[in-house]
């Protein structure tokens, strides 16, 4: 507890799955967490859980809190508005966790993917993260220990039939984030990494493998240690793809 005390963190995809678990863990470690997701109801439930956990912990001000930010990441210009608002309120961003993802309507042969689902996947997994980098790079550099992490997938390490669109988006994300890491390595204290969470019981996993028993899989709460480690001010890892197994 307290490993992120006083740090300002932004987490996308915070209303469910890995994003929700990471937002809760960051708050438990003392961060003030800007929780970004499309679902207002899901964010309010998250806020209730963080507030209840803070009260039960007895840590008071050492326990973090949530700032709810209902936002569809496909409304790209609003990402810039959020960055401007955060600069006015905090003057910096210490941690950026790009966790939101889209599976492109599910698994299907490339030629059968509906254009709408193709575009949604690239919008959320690639373009939105580019806009996050573009908007928050200056705020992360203002921090004395800015940290950024983005979730990728093992499907980039081979060729997997029916995963083509999702794999293409994650391959593009990896190249973009790795390039950004190289660009900032010698000119700022910012540290940038990718996280491959492995198999986790999430809604996306259930869409891909509907017959699987989620109780047999690692839960999102089980993998948050890696996110905390990469968010800490003392983290020195940079430009790496960190695997959770």
Task: List, in order, residues 6 or more apart from 89 with CB less than 8 Å away.
Answer: none
In the set 63, 130, 162, 166, the catalytic residue is 166
- The number of residues making up the chain comes to 245
CA dist 238 and 241 (Å) reads 9
Q: Which of 211, 125, 213 is nearest to 163 (CA)?
A: 125
d(CA 96, CA 27): 14
Edge-to-edge strands, sheet with 65-70: 65-70, 32-37, 8-12, 95-98, 147-151, 191-196, 241-243
Q: Where do we find the tokens 């993802």? A: 101
How many other CB atoms are found less than 10 A from the CB of residue 41? 10
Contacts of 81 (CB under 8 A, 6+ apart): none
- Quick check: is 166 catalytic? yes
Nearest to 157 by CA among 166, 167, 165, 147: 167
- Which residues are part of the catalytic machinery? 166
């Amino acid at each position: 507890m307290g490993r992120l005390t006083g740090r300002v963190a932004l987490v996308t995809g915070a209303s469910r799955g890995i994003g929700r678990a990471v937002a809760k863990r960051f708050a438990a470690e003392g961060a003030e967490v800007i929780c970004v997701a499309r679902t207002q109801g899901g964010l309010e439930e998250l806020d209730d859980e963080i507030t209840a956990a803070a009260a039960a912990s007895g840590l008071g001000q050492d326990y973090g809190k949530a700032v709810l930010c209902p936002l569809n990441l496909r409304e790209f210009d609003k990402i810039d508005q959020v960055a401007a608002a955060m600069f006015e309120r905090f003057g910096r961003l210490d941690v950026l966790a790009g966790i939101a993802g889209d599976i492109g309507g599910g698994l299907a042969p490339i030629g059968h993917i509906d254009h709408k689902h193709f575009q949604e996947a690239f919008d959320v997994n690639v373009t939105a993260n580019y806009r996050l980098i573009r908007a928050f790079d200056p705020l992360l550099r203002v921090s004395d220990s800015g940290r950024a992490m983005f979730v990728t997938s093992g499907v980039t390490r081979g060729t997997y039939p029916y995963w083509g669109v999702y794999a293409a988006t994650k391959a593009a994300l990896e190249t973009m984030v790795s390039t950004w890491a190289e660009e900032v390595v010698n000119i700022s204290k910012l540290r940038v990494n990718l996280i491959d969470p492995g198999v986790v019981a999430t809604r996306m996993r259930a869409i891909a493998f509907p017959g699987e028993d989620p109780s047999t899989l690692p839960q999102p709460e089980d993998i948050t240690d890696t996110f905390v480690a990469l968010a800490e001010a003392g983290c020195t890892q940079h430009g790496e793809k960190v695997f959770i197994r």
